[in-house]
Structure 1
Amino acid sequence: MVVSAHPEASRVGLEIMRKGGNAFDATVATQFALAVVFPVAGNIGGGGFTVYRSADGETGTLDYRETAPATAFATMYQDSAANVIEGLSTNGHLAVGIPGTVDGMVKLHQKLGVLPWAEVVQPAIDLARNGVVLTQKEADGLNSTRQAFIEINKHTPYLTQKQKWQAGDTIFHKDLALTLERIRDKGREGFYAGKTAELLVLEMQQGNGMITKEDLANYSSVWRKPLEGSYKGYKVISMAPPSSGGIALLQLLTMVEPHNLSNYKWQSAEAIQLITEAERRVYADRATYLGDPDFVKIPVQALLDKTYLKERLSTFSMDKATPSSEMKAGKLPFTESDQTTHFSIIDPAGNAVSTTTTLNGAYGSKVLVNGAGFLLNNEMDDFSVKPGVPNMFGLVGGEANAIAPGKRMLSSMTPTILEKDGKLFMVVGTPGGSTIITSVFQAILNVVEHNMTMQQAVGAPRFHHQWLPDVIQHEPNAISPAVRSVLESKGYKLEQRKPYGRVDAIRVLPNGKLEAGADPRGDDAAAGF
């Protein structure tokens, strides 16, 4: 089974497995297909994380997060008075980190794939060349971004046209097809060297960006040890830093575990309070302690220490909200070492892959590499462009996540796999910027604590708190008027927002069958056999 943000990408991944490919081959094929059919977040000009569990229980993670260019520096988005220059880290050429996706897919395939490389890249080339029929959501996205595409690029991007895109229109990605062919024929060199690299560097030079040929040549994705924890007998396998997702998810699960959430009704005042107070404390820790582990010492063990987490939540009372102004990061007991897309895959042998990949904002920096047909990320905004100043998702960061050459920016991506009794149980993840962690957390709780099906769990309305701003953000229908009154009487501020996140997940049922959850908030689709 494949569950992804687009029916065509799910189909591609499934067909690869029908041909005898495994989950890792299907991951590569789905990733490249998403770069074609889902340009708002699917990419070759961004980066991401993959968490896997092989059929024999071996686990691992691959970090192909973008890095800062060699000439990047801590104050590059500030003026002479140390004020942050609005838009500089989110739009245009200076917002771009060195892309990691292609290097990541090459490494993943080399280690774990079984089909020939060319065979897993070809379906994306076919989609690019033959054209993709736009969904209503994709047409709307391209139309609403048209002006930004025109203003930011020095050429007229093919993603724009004079008349508005309509659902049912076919869009042809001719230059992208040629770029994908170079990747098919030359692997890593097809992107980080030769013609593609020349076009990318030329694009940077014309728009005063920083990325050089040397930056591209020096980029390398990293195999990392997964973070593993437990929740009520379930083993939880997630992504380590530079993702904050795994640590935050395990902190949240550990904090709420003693409180037996199943005693509370779903989205009751008590359940929302408990989850909100845990989230408030976890996001405060995130802002202070987390960054790139190759640059800063991250106290992983201390942050996950059960005594520490119990103490963190001991200051919470059901009687009233804890104001975020009173909530700083915890004092550790010891020290030691929005638009994104997610897909989940399980193959016939039982190999499982959870992959979250991103350009950061919708369509990334809006920079389209002239002649190469792909969009570049605006991932530099995920650094603390100035400690204490929020990024585009309202997340506040500290010195641990300051900009430095070659450094990976902190992420909220939370690709996760669960086991029960030593067997595969769930593959889950989502896009959504700062809301990723809480969406994955709630999807897991919906199944484990509230006995929802996988589809019900991903479709259920969600709420979110991230320390600052001090407000419970929630989707329509997530919180009933009666519960809202109770929460407001205790000092909580609530704010309705548009639906967010696209949780795509698979659960293994006791009889071995697979149950999909494809998020109804997008064009997400499951495909299986």
Structure 2
Amino acid sequence: MTSRIYILLLLALTFSSCNLTTSPKVGALGDHAMVVSAHPLSTAVGLNVLKQGGNAIDAAVATQFALAVVYPRAGNIGGGGFSVIRLTDGSIAALDFREKAPAQAERKMFQDSLGNVVGELSTIGHLAAGVPGSVAGMWELHQKYGSLPWADLVQPAIDLAFEGFLITANEAEALNEKQEDFRQANHYRPWVVRENGWQANDYVNQPQLAATLSFIRDSGRDGFYKGIVAQQIVKEMQRGNGLVTHEDLQNYEAIWRAPLVGTYRGHRVISMPPPSSGGVAVLQMLQGAELLNVGRYEHNSTNAVHLMAEIERRVFADRSKHLGDPDYFQVPVQQLLSPDYNASRFADISIDQTTPSTDIQGGEVPYESPETTHFSIVDADGNAISTTTTLNLNYGCKVWVKGAGFVLNNEMDDFSSKPGVPNFFGLIGAEANAIAPGKRMLSSMTPTIVEKDGALKMVLGSPGGATILTSVFQTVLNVIDYEMTMQEAVSAKKVHHQWLPDQIKAETDAISLKTIEELEQLGHSFEFVDKIGRNDCILVREDGRLEGGADPRGDDKAAGF
């Protein structure tokens, strides 16, 4: 079968999957399996793997590599992420393939001689890049759980890169927004730079990326962390005064960690532990929502939004003070998730007034000893994987590795460049998230799986920087408290509060004018934005069928069979 025919079949799969039903209220339905990702072609790749007899982890590997081709602003081999897994026998696992600081990184590397943070150093250019983890993560997933040959899972991405595809309007807009950054960050002209800009349905093929993926196909993780690709990365670092070395690449390892487990209204919630802040934060928020019975109030009503904001500001204050890489800092996870601690933490929330964020600090606990992408997959045997990966900002640090065809992350900005100074997303950090050689930067990625009565119920996750935490939190509430379909829960307008700045960020039309006035009377202020989050989730319905909720805020696609 030629590559061209294969890609046409992928397109056909995307739009005509068996038993697939869509409507404004109900997402794609599948009797046996489901894939939801940020791009129609990556969803089609994952679904085709499942149809060929692969399991959910096989499909995840193939989907991730396809995203690196068709969704380069966030899909990647130059970034990193997390996966949460639940197998059909109920066993659970969590894989950390978050990027790491290079060995030459040092605490004040983004400060000037006066101690002032130079923000652009951690967001644009070679110095902003951490050691990538995505390829190591996919390799580790496959080594432990894969059933189909590795080469068969990487090949679809190679075909897409070599043969090419038509870009969407959203991707054209994203490329056009970053043209000047691409010119500034690169010493040569990568393919993304185009004098007359990009338009929907422009044809893109990436032979250099196809070659890089071929090395990964043939040599596994060594095809990226050693050999020609590693040489290209290191040469690129040397050209731009970056820090990643051959030793950094060779020493990188993905790490299996124990998932965090909590409950919400009779459901078991499984999420990612540090260095992701997502699991701790969402489980804290859910404890607060249950204690205050947020679900008794109408969706996005004055009382519901007020209580969510009050819960969220306290959780984000805790995030700032306590969370970081557990291999470098003693993170008090169990204490932060203690029901006694959270009962005390949320006890001073009033339904009648706000608590200014200036009056809230990270809680005192006893220590013992914006751009990301997410996909959710369930296979025919009931195995499930929730994976979130990132470059940090759209197209990472904007540096394209010459000859290799992929862009590097700017995850060094997720460290606390200086205690008390916000990063790009406005998040405040402290000692727990200070820069150190080999350390993994704190993340907001929140891949999550929910069970009910011992059975799989939901697979969840979202991109969106700090708003990931609140997007996943609200999606859980939407399904459990407000009895929405998965598509309704994903599509529903979101709100967000992250402690500092002290304001509610809300999507346009998320709340009524009357509700805004009532919340302002309570002491809240607002910032309105076009989009919050981009959830791609799966719900196991009462009839046993799988519903995929693909976020309408992007080109996201759900497909099942």
- For the aligned pair, the TM-score class normalised by the smaller chain equals over 0.9
The one-letter amino acid of 1:385's match is: S
* Equivalent of 1:261 in 285, 291, 294: 294
In structure 1, the partner of 2:553 is: 521
* One of 343, 350, 371 as aligned partner of 2:403: 371
Question: 1:151, 1:400 → 2: CA distance?
Answer: 32
Residue 145 (structure 1) aligned with residue 178 (structure 2): yes
2:504 is the alignment partner of 1:463 = no
Separation in 2, partners of 1:263, 1:389:
38
In the TM superposition, what are the counterparts of 1:316-327 in structure 2 within 5 Å? 316-327=349-360
**What residue number does 2:336 align with?**
303
**Are 1:509 and 2:541 an aligned pair?**
yes
- Structure 1 partner of 2:477: 445
Q: Distance in 2 between matches of 1:124 and 1:198?
A: 22
C-alpha deviations, 1:72-129, integer Å up to 9, x for none? 0000000110000130000000000000000010010010000000000000000000
**Which residue of the partner structure matches residue 462 of structure 2?**
430
What letter is aligned with 1:386? K
CA contact (8 A) 2:56 2:378 kept: yes
CA distance in 1, matches of 2:467, 2:412: 19
Give the residue type in structure 1 aligned to 2:176: N
Aligned 8 A contact 1:300 1:337 in 2: no
User: Residue in 2 aligned with 1:28?
Assistant: 61
Instruction: Please state if 1:89 is matched with 2:122.
Output: yes
Alignment of 1:132 onto 2:165: yes
TM-score by length of 1: 0.99
Structure 2: how far apart are the matches of 1:125 and 1:220? 24
Kindly indicate whether the alpha-carbon contact (under 8 Å) linking 2:495 and 2:510 is maintained by their aligned counterparts in 1. Answer: yes
Residue 341 of structure 1 aligns with which residue? 373
1:289 corresponds to 2:314: no
- Check the 8 A contact 1:300/1:336 in 2, yes or no: no
Q: Displacement of 1:336 after TM fit? A: 2.3
The amino acid of 1:209's aligned partner reads G
Question: Which runs of 5 or more residues in structure 2 are unaligned?
Answer: 1-33
CA distance in 2: counterparts of 1:349 and 1:318, whole angstroms: 45
Q: Following the alignment from structure 1 to structure 2, what is the Cα–Cα distance between the partners of residues 262 and 230? A: 15
Residue among 259, 267, 273 paired with 1:226? 259
The alignment status of 1:362 with 2:390, answered yes or no, reads no
Counterpart for residue 387 of structure 1 = 419
In 2, the alpha carbon distance for the partners of 1:312 and 1:426 equals 28
**Cα drift, residue 261 of structure 1:** 2.5
AA of the residue aligned to 1:434: A
In the TM superposition, what whole-angstrom CA distance separates every residue of 1:162-220 from its partner, at most 9, and x where no partner exists? 22211111101110000000000000110000000000000000000000001100000
Residues 276-305 of structure 1 deviation map (CA, whole Å, 9 limit, x = unaligned): 100000000000000000000011111001
The aligned residue for residue 479 of structure 1 is 511
| Equivalent pair of 1:251/1:303 in contact (CA under 8 Å) | yes
Q: Distance in 1 between matches of 2:141 and 2:388?
A: 14
Q: Using the alignment, how far apart are the partners of 1:384 and 1:319 within structure 2?
A: 35
- Aligned with 1:436: secondary structure? helix
CA apart distance, 1:337? 6.1
Counterpart of 1:96, as a letter, is A
Query: For the residues of structure 1 that align with 2:226 and 2:380, how far apart are their CA atoms?
Result: 36
Deviations 1:390-416 (A, max 9, x none): 000000000110000000000000000
Determine whether 1:37 maps to 2:70.
yes
Q: Displaced runs of 4+ in structure 1, greater than 4 A?
A: none
**Does the 8 Å contact 1:94/1:208 carry over to 2?**
yes
**Secondary structure of residue in 2 paired with 1:318:** coil
* Equivalent in 211, 214, 219 of residue 181 of structure 1: 214
> Does the CA contact (< 8 Å) of 1:298 and 1:336 recur in 2?
no
- Confirm or deny: 8 A CA contact 2:289 2:295 kept in the other structure: no
Does the 8 Å CA contact 1:91/1:366 hold for their aligned counterparts? yes
Provide Cα deviations, 1:430-454, integer angstroms capped at 9, x if missing partner.
0000000000000110010011110
Moved more, 512-521 or 142-151: 142-151
Distance between the aligned counterparts of 1:26 and 1:500, measured in 2? 27
Deviation at 1:510, TM superposition (A): 1.7
Q: Distance in 2 between matches of 1:108 and 1:232?
A: 31
The answer for the alignment partner of 1:242 in structure 2 is 275
Distance (whole Å) between structure 1 residues aligned to residue 140 and residue 341 of structure 2: 37
Q: Determine helix, strand or coil for the equivalent of 2:120.
A: coil
The letter for the 1-side match of 2:302 is A
Counterpart residue number, 1:279: 312
1:479, distance to aligned residue in structure 2 (A): 1.2
1:488 aligns with 2:488: no
Distance 1:437 1:488 in 2: 24
Whole-Å Cα distance in 1 between the matches of residues 97 and 543 of structure 2?
35
Measure the CA separation in 2 of the matches of 1:402 and 1:337. 20
Aligned with 2:121: secondary structure?
coil
Name the SS of the counterpart of 1:439 in structure 2: helix
User: Within 1, Cα distance between the matches of 2:143 and 2:177?
Assistant: 39
User: SS at the partner of 1:88?
Assistant: helix
- What's the TM-score, normalizing by structure 2? 0.93
- The residue type paired with residue 379 of structure 2 is D
Q: Residue 466 of structure 2: SS of its match in structure 1?
A: helix
CA RMSD of aligned residues (A): 0.7
Match of 1:62 among 60, 82, 95: 95
What SS is found at the alignment partner of 1:74?
coil
Which of 13, 23, 30 matches 2:46? 13
